[in-house]
Structure 1
Amino acid sequence: MSVETDDGHGHGHGHHLPAVEDWPKGFGEASWWPFIAALGGSGLYIGAALFVLGQPEHGVVSPLAGPLVFVLSTAAFLAGLYGWLYHAFIVDFWAGEADDHGFPMKLTMLLFLGTEVATFGAGFVYYFFIRADAWANLPPIVADGNVLNALVIANTLILIASSVTMHYAHHALLKDNRKRFVRLLGATLLLGLIFLAGQTYEYYEFITVYGFGLTDGAYGSAFYALTGLHGLHVALGAVLLTILFIRAIYGHYSPEKHVSVSTVSMYWHFVDIVWVFLVVVLYVGAIV
């Protein structure tokens, strides 16, 4: 539904706000998009579990159950993120970038990253248990040392470079160098997309050339769960960077108004740090 929103100065803007007003009665004023995103995210894990249970050696459920739940959950997750990001970023598009709510937004991002640390931490703990208990049954790709190759190293350097360009893009904005800010922000987005393409090709090569898949032992499940989860975060970061880049082209940011840039920068640096840990633990640690 189309509603009128106030920018704090008595000026309304007619555009769609996908929450609050269209929330079913009885739920107060809570936004329902984070709830949908959470359901979709939970469904991803359920879909992965059903996929394993649907393999011929198990046959507990239909082989199509896992992929179907995974696709539907992905759709719900992306829809929830859309509504959530709409409120966090697009609403400010109409009233101008906020400059007096920086601390709450940054605190919210820090709290969100805290939950992400816990999520990845649980995955790492699972992996370490595997290494301690089931390390003898390594896939050939790991036993032969092929899990760490030139593509992985290049992809790592690309993601680290994107973190550098993101830092200097934010720095350029603070110095009111808008042209440099837009160029470096665009470079960050491009590097992120190249990383995703590289990881997709890495999966393709591992599966088709080396026969190393999700169900290839305990290591395979840990490897694809952790790297896939990270890839999902990079994809989300690419969406955020795209929003920033479009808004930057329209001149929505300044040295005084850059809350969205700061929070997305925090998220992107976190994603890069997690990848470095993944490379050290999953790739280097597996062959040492």
Structure 2
Amino acid sequence: MSEQYEKYYVPAQSPWPIVGAVAMFFIAAGAGLTVMQLEQEGSSGTYMLLAGIAVLLYMLVGWFKNVISESHDGLYSPQMDRSFKQGMSWFIFSEVMFFAAFFGALFYARMLAVPWLGGDGNNVMTGEVLWPEFTSTWPLESTPGGTTTQAMGWQGLPLINTIILLVSSVTLHYAHVAMEKDNRGPLKLFLFLTIALGAVFLVLQGYEYAHAYNDLGLKLDSGIYGNTFFLLTGFHGMHVTLGAIMLTVMFIRVLKGHFSSEKHFAFQAAAWYWHFVDVVWLCLFVFVYVL
């Protein structure tokens, strides 16, 4: 009696991983040169950053196109679907660890380094020698080099952005429910609202950064507080941008009649990612803005 084996599609060698690696290299190098101000405005650092972003978008479009074509050609088996789910789960786990590292740096600065510099515990003389005038407070609004800044409050734009992301999770949930019921009208409406809310979030974050730079003197070089503030909020903004791109692709596919109530993991994966981004923002709002 012959055994029945489930087919498993093995795609041909793909250029997209190396293209993505090149894009990330240019983004990292360009961002480093721009932030460190090694060159003047409009320098090669800025161009390198923009080139990296362009290559990354090119990679996303090409890779998405290939996967969509393979799916519509019926090449994927249930085992392949399970592989996609495992891959997305591990990807989100890696993102959890990514943000955990930055939250860990924030915790270390607030709970250990700053009190230690202020002379807490057995470090009284250490504080007197290194910075006698230092007062152990958080947010740290002054540095030994004389840089002063103001803290970003949680009211106003941060609170509004928090409400926007929470509402976007609700609208995306209803879009997912509509997908499972094959209700195309509510699906398109709620998915569009989710993307629009994400775009509004990014615009308001831009206004918040302008306010921080121009009115509060809060910059990336404003000591450990400025470092942790912009690293956490900035990387989160990058993830919101990527999530919005993913949802936009899903919206275009929905308009073209893709997906069904039984087969829609691409949509589900984008929804997972968006909900993850929302949870990260809630943690960020509490530990960066409120506490």
Q: What's the TM-score, normalizing by structure 2? A: 0.76
Q: 2:130: which partner in 1? A: none
Work out the CA distance in 2 between the residues paired with 1:95 and 1:239: 24
Native 8 Å contact 1:93 1:247 kept in 2: no
Whole-Å Cα distance in 1 between the matches of residues 165 and 102 of structure 2?
A: 21
Q: Deviations over 1:188-209 (max 9, x none)?
A: 1111111111111111121122
Q: Does 1:107 align with 2:86?
A: yes
- The 1:53/1:173 distance shift into structure 2, 3 A limit, reads closer
Which amino acid counterpart does residue 141 of structure 1 have in structure 2? Q
Show the counterpart of 1:72.
Answer: 51
Match of 1:140 in 2: 149
1:75-154 to 2 correspondence within 5 Å?
A: 75-88=54-67, 90-91=68-69, 94-95=72-73, 100=78, 101-131=80-110, 132-134=112-114, 136=137, 137-138=140-141, 140-142=149-151, 146-154=152-160
Alignment partner, residue 282 of structure 1: 288
Aligned to 1:174: 180
- Which digits, 9 at most, give the CA deviation of each residue in 1:174-198, with x for residues without a partner? 1222211111111111111111111
Question: Which residue of structure 2 aligns with residue 212 of structure 1?
Answer: 218
Q: Does 1:41 align with 2:19?
A: no
DSSP-derived class of the 2:150 partner: helix
Cα distance in structure 1, aligned partners of 2:274 and 2:28: 24
**Distance (whole Å) between structure 1 residues aligned to residue 74 and residue 257 of structure 2:** 10
Unaligned 5+ segments in structure 1 are 1-7, 9-19, 21-28, 55-60
Q: Note the C-alpha offset of 1:72.
A: 2.9
What is the distance in 2 between the residues matched to 1:77 and 1:206?
A: 29
Q: In the TM superposition, what is the alpha-carbon distance from 1:274 to its structure 2 partner? A: 0.8
1:79 maps to a residue whose letter is Y
Count residues in correspondence: 249
Percent identity reads: 37
Does the 8 Å CA contact 1:98/1:259 hold for their aligned counterparts? no
The answer for the alignment partner of 2:121 in structure 1 is: none
Shift of residue 43, structure 1, vs aligned partner: 4.0
Distance between the aligned counterparts of 1:273 and 1:105, measured in 2? 22
1:65-120 Cα shifts (integer Å, max 9, x gaps): 543433333233333333333333x4257547968443221111111111111211
Pairing of 1:116-265 with structure 2 (within 5 A): 116-131=95-110, 132-134=112-114, 136=137, 137-138=140-141, 140-142=149-151, 146-265=152-271
Query: How far has the Cα of 1:52 moved from its partner?
Result: 4.5
Say if 1:125 and 1:46 are closer, same or farther in 2 by CA, change over 3 A. farther
Amino acid at match of 1:173: M
Q: Tell me, yes or no, if structure 1 residue 62 matches structure 2 residue 39.
A: yes
Amino acid aligned to 2:153:
V
1:11 alignment partner in structure 2: none
* Helix, strand or coil at the partner of 1:87: helix
SS in 2 for 1:31: coil
